[in-house]
């Protein structure tokens, strides 16, 4: 099988800090790839570099579109990149406020992404918004409420609905359950897990929480000081870590 995404020796420096240092990996269709590591290890930088939010110093990222076209992401025009983000990718922000428009209704938050890809029919947009609210377990009677009326967990589920409505193939998530209470986290994780499976989504999931990785990720990259120090199948890496850093992570001496 062809990889959906190929990351090759990706480097990103902040002055003398190697935030990402020659990071390479492949992501395959319908696969959830977890990225784990202590705070400052370069997880968010890697995700933002892949998402095109920050320029990179070196290396390459290629993505195979639904029509089979291989795109070299660092060379993509801003217009084409925006189109890709609208049509095939989604980015789940840790803070839902960064991924939602707080001053428009829940329904409009979902509808806006559809309008961005050219859907104009109001009835169709309303119908899709209702469907996706249902899918993320938000009462459809809340469709005309503003996101600021929602709890943190609901806002995060609304952010998911807003992304899923355009049927993305690849979703990037940075600590999606980070700011939530433990019980709310568990419910959101169950939801993400079932959506990922039913929709055959490919996901890159950044978290410092090994429980989240265990639940969702098929494969795992372990990062330290901007480098991948270990990678493999999640269960294999977590049950039999080879690198001393991963061993420390697993025995929770680095991550609270």
Nearer to Mg ion by Cβ, of 44 and 109: the residue is 44
Nearer to ligand ADP by Cβ, of 32 and 46: the residue is 46
Nearer to Mg ion by Cβ, of 159 and 166: the residue is 159
Residue 146 interface partner, choices ligand ADP, Mg ion, none, CB cut-off 5-8 Å depending on type: none
- Decide if residue 207 touches Mg ion (CB under 5 A): no
Nearer to ligand ADP by Cβ, of 37 and 96: the residue is 37
Q: Which residues bind ligand ADP (CB under 6 A)?
A: 14, 17, 19, 37, 39-45
Closest separation between CB of residue 206 and Mg ion, Å?
Answer: 6
Q: Quick one: residue 68, left, alpha or beta (phi over 0 = left, psi -120 to 50 = alpha)?
A: left
**Chain center to CA of 195:** 13
Nearer to Mg ion by Cβ, of 42 and 111: the residue is 42
Closest separation between CB of residue 210 and ligand ADP, Å?
Answer: 14
Question: What single-letter DSSP state applies at residue 102?
Answer: T
Gyration radius from the chain CA atoms: 18
User: CA-CA distances (angstroms) from residue 194 to 59, 129, 191, 201?
Assistant: 34, 19, 5, 10
CA nearest to 199, candidates 143, 135, 137 = 135
CA nearest to 211, candidates 46, 30, 36 = 36
- Decide if residue 234 touches Mg ion (CB under 5 A): no
Nearer to ligand ADP by Cβ, of 21 and 128: the residue is 21
- Decide if residue 109 touches Mg ion (CB under 5 A): no
DSSP character string of 70-97: EEEGGG--HHHHHHHHHHTEEEE-SSHH
Closest separation between CB of residue 244 and ligand ADP, Å?
Answer: 19
Residue 224 interface partner, choices ligand ADP, Mg ion, none, CB cut-off 5-8 Å depending on type: none
How many binding residues for Mg ion (CB under 5 A)?
1
Contact call for residues 109 and 158 (beta carbons, < 8 A) = yes
Residue 45 interface partner, choices ligand ADP, Mg ion, none, CB cut-off 5-8 Å depending on type: ligand ADP
User: CA-CA distances (angstroms) from residue 136 to 8, 17, 55, 91?
Assistant: 35, 39, 33, 16
- Decide if residue 44 touches Mg ion (CB under 5 A): yes
Residue 14 interface partner, choices Mg ion, ligand ADP, none, CB cut-off 5-8 Å depending on type: ligand ADP
Contact call for residues 156 and 176 (beta carbons, < 8 A) = yes
């Amino acid at each position: 099988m062809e990889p959906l995404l190929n990351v090759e020796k990706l480097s990103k420096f902040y002055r003398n800090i190697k935030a990402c240092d020659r990071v390479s990996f492949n992501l395959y269709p319908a696969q959830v790839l977890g990225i784990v590591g202590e705070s400052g290890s370069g997880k968010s930088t890697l995700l933002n570099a892949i998402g095109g939010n920050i320029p990179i110093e070196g290396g390459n990222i290629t993505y195979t579109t639904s029509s089979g076209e291989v795109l070299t992401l660092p060379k993509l025009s801003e217009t084409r990149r925006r189109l890709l983000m609208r049509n095939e990718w989604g980015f789940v922000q840790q803070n839902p406020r960064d991924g939602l428009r707080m001053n428009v209704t829940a329904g409009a938050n979902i509808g806006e992404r559809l309008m961005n890809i050219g859907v104009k029919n109001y009835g169709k947009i309303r119908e899709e918004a209702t469907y996706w609210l249902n899918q993320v377990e938000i009462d459809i009677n809340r469709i005309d409420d503003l996101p600021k009326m929602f709890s943190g967990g609901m806002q995060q589920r609304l952010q998911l609905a807003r992304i899923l409505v355009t049927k993305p193939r690849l979703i990037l998530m940075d600590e999606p359950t980070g700011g939530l209470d433990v019980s709310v986290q568990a419910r959101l994780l169950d939801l993400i897990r079932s959506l990922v499976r039913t929709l055959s989504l490919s996901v890159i999931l950044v978290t410092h929480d090994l429980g989240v990785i265990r639940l969702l990720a098929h494969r795992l990259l372990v990062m330290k000081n901007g480098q991948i120090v270990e990678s493999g199948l999640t269960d294999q890496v977590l049950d039999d870590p080879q690198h001393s850093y991963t061993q420390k992570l697993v025995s929770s001496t680095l991550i609270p």
